[in-house]
Chains A and B, each alone.
Chain A
Amino acid sequence: MAEDTRPTKPAREHRDVWITAEEAPDWMSHSTDEGAQTMRLDESQQRLVEQMGVRVDDDYVLDDQISEDERMIINMGPQHPSTHGVMRLQIELEGEIVRRVKPIIGYLHTGMEKTGESLMYMQGGTNVTRMDYIAPLFNELVFALATEKLLEVEIPPRAQAIRILMTELNRVASHLVSLATQGMDVGALSMMLYGFRERELILAFFEKTTGLRMNHNYIRVGGVAADLPDGWEEDIAEIVEKIPVGVADYEDLLKSNPIWEGRTRGVGVISAEECLAYGITGPPLRATGVDLDLRKSQPYSGIEQYEFDVAVGSNGDVYDRYRIRVQEILQSLRIVHQVANRMPAGDYRTDDRKVTPPPRKRIDESMEALIHHFKLFTEGFKVPEGEAYVAIESPRGEIGCYIVSDGSAKPYRMHIRAPSFANLQGLPIMLADSLVADSVATIASVDAVMGDVDR
Chain B
Amino acid sequence: MTEEPINDAEAAEEAPEAPPRPLPDHPILAGLLEQFDTVEWRLSSGQDTAVVPKSQLRDFALAARRAGFEMLVDLTAVDYLRVRKIRFEVVVGLLSLQHNIRLRLRVPVPAGEPGDDPTVPSLVPVYPGANFFERETFDMFGIIFEDHPDLTRILLPDDWVGHPLRKDFAVGAVPVQFKSSPQVT
Which one of A5-13, A180-188, A218-226, A272-280 contacts B?
A272-280
Contact check: which of B44, B100, B127, B155 meets A105 at CB < 8 Å? B155
Docked Cα-Cα span, A389 to B94, in Å, equals 11
Whether A208 is near chain B, meaning CB under 8 Å from some CB there, is: no
Docked Cα-Cα span, A292 to B79, in Å, equals 32
Residues on B with C-beta less than 8 A from A118 are: 171
State the total of A-B contacts with C-beta under 8 angstroms.
97
Contact check: which of A290, A406, A454 meets B97 at CB < 8 Å? A290
Would you call A417 and B165 a contact (CB within 8 A)?
no
Q: Smallest CB–CB gap between B159 and chain A, Å?
A: 13
Would you call A279 and B45 a contact (CB within 8 A)?
no
Would you call A406 and B74 a contact (CB within 8 A)?
no
Residues on A with C-beta less than 8 A from B72 are: 279
Q: Smallest CB–CB gap between B127 and chain A, Å?
A: 7
Would you call A388 and B47 a contact (CB within 8 A)?
yes
Q: Smallest CB–CB gap between A263 and chain B, Å?
A: 28
Interface residues of A, count at CB 8 A: 40
Residue of A150, A404, A454 with most partner-chain B CB within 10 A: A404
Whether A341 is near chain B, meaning CB under 8 Å from some CB there, is: no
Interface residues of B, count at CB 8 A: 38
Residues on A with C-beta less than 8 A from B93 are: 389, 400, 402, 417
Would you call A278 and B129 a contact (CB within 8 A)?
yes
Docked Cα-Cα span, A267 to B95, in Å, equals 28
Whether A323 is near chain B, meaning CB under 8 Å from some CB there, is: no
Which one of A75-83, A108-116, A365-373 contacts B?
A108-116
Q: Smallest CB–CB gap between B131 and chain A, Å?
A: 6
Contact check: which of A297, A400, A412 meets B100 at CB < 8 Å? A297
Would you call B140 and A279 a contact (CB within 8 A)?
no
Would you call A292 and B97 a contact (CB within 8 A)?
yes
Contact check: which of B153, B165, B169 meets A113 at CB < 8 Å? B165
Would you call A422 and B91 a contact (CB within 8 A)?
no
- Output the nearest chain B residue to A277 by Cβ-Cβ distance: B128
Docked Cα-Cα span, A278 to B126, in Å, equals 11
Known: A114-B164, A149-B45, A281-B73. A276 touches B97 (CB 8 A): yes
Whether A298 is near chain B, meaning CB under 8 Å from some CB there, is: yes
Q: CB-defined interface of A421-438 with B at 8 Å, one 1/0 digit per residue?
A: 110110000000000000
> Interface of B with A (CB < 8 Å)?
44-47, 70-74, 76, 78-79, 83, 91, 93, 95, 97, 100, 102, 104, 127-133, 136, 140, 153-157, 164-165, 169, 171
Those 6 A-B pairs whose CB atoms lie nearest each other, nearest first: A279-B129, A106-B155, A388-B45, A278-B129, A417-B74, A109-B155
Q: List 5 A-B contacts (CB under 8 A).
A: A279-B71, A279-B127, A386-B45, A388-B47, A425-B131
> Interface of A with B (CB < 8 Å)?
105-106, 109, 111, 113-115, 118, 149-150, 276-281, 290, 292, 297-298, 386-389, 391, 398, 400, 402, 404, 406, 412-413, 415, 417, 421-422, 424-425, 454-455
